[in-house]
Chain A
Amino acid sequence: GAVVSQHPSWVICKSGTSVKIECRSLDFQATTMFWYRQFPKQSLMLMATSNEGSKATYEQGVEKDKFLINHASLTLSTLTVTSAHPEDSSFYICSARDPRAGGNEQYFGPGTRLTVT
């Protein structure tokens, strides 16, 4: 089956620092990956769509200069939270579309818990 991993699973950082989160498709090549954030007891909100070899497409209201996305290979997308602030504390989840299965289904990573102090 399609497996997506994220690293780290949790991270604590100080205000003003930058944090990088990795999303990897382990057994398939993903031309498209998605980044979501989830606040406690709320649903997932799409932040951006990451396309291999091109710029990410950000959702309305998401600051692209703050949340840098790089999709450098068919198996890796990274999200960098720059100059993090406590309000950036959240659960970040990535997903990837498996083209082998007709491209309809998205598979999700285990998430990364970011806490900014």
Chain B
Amino acid sequence: KQEVTQIPAALSVPEGENLVLNCSFTDSAIYNLQWFRQDPGKGLTSLLLIQSSQREQTSGRLNASLDKSSGRSTLYIAASQPGDSATYLCAVSAFGNEKLTFGTGTRLTIIP
């Protein structure tokens, strides 16, 4: 059974700093990996999707990497802003299975 873990559970950094969020999964046979953002009491916003054949994806100040062999993904946020404060979730899907298995999330706070 696939298990997805995110460390740390919470992170506070001063505005302007670069930061890295971590996601690890136990079964490396994944189809893709997605990073989401969730604001309090809200739904999920998809940030980046990495196919299993890819190593990274970039969107603006966000860069997500994927290392399937080690079962890890990182989300790099450059020049953090207070508006980046949210909970970040990673999720993986398996081949032939559309279901997503979510990580436990990292609650990020950017201090102005």
Chain B nearest CB: distance from A74 CB in Å? Answer: 16
Which residues of A58-96 are within 8 A (CB) of B?
Answer: 91, 93, 95
Q: Is A34 a contact of B46 with CB atoms below 8 Å? A: no
Checking B32, B44, B105 against A104 with a beta-carbon cut-off of 8 angstroms, the contacting residue is: B32
User: In chain A, what residue has the closest Cβ to B42?
Assistant: A110
CA distance A4 to B44 in the complex (A): 11
- Which residues, 41 to 66 on B, are CB-close (under 8 Å) to A? 41-46, 49, 51
Residues on B with C-beta less than 8 A from A111 are 41-43
Per the bound structure, the CA–CA distance linking A95 and B91 in Å amounts to 13
Q: What count of chain A residues pass the 8 Å CB interface test?
A: 24
Q: Which residue of B lies closest to A10 (CB)?
A: B41
In the complex, the answer to whether B42 meets A106 with C-beta atoms within 8 Å is no
| Contact between A110 and B43, CB atoms less than 8 A apart | yes
- What B residues does A97 contact at CB under 8 A? 98
- Residues of B with Cβ closer than 8 Å to A? 31-32, 34, 36, 41-46, 49, 51, 89, 91, 93, 98-105
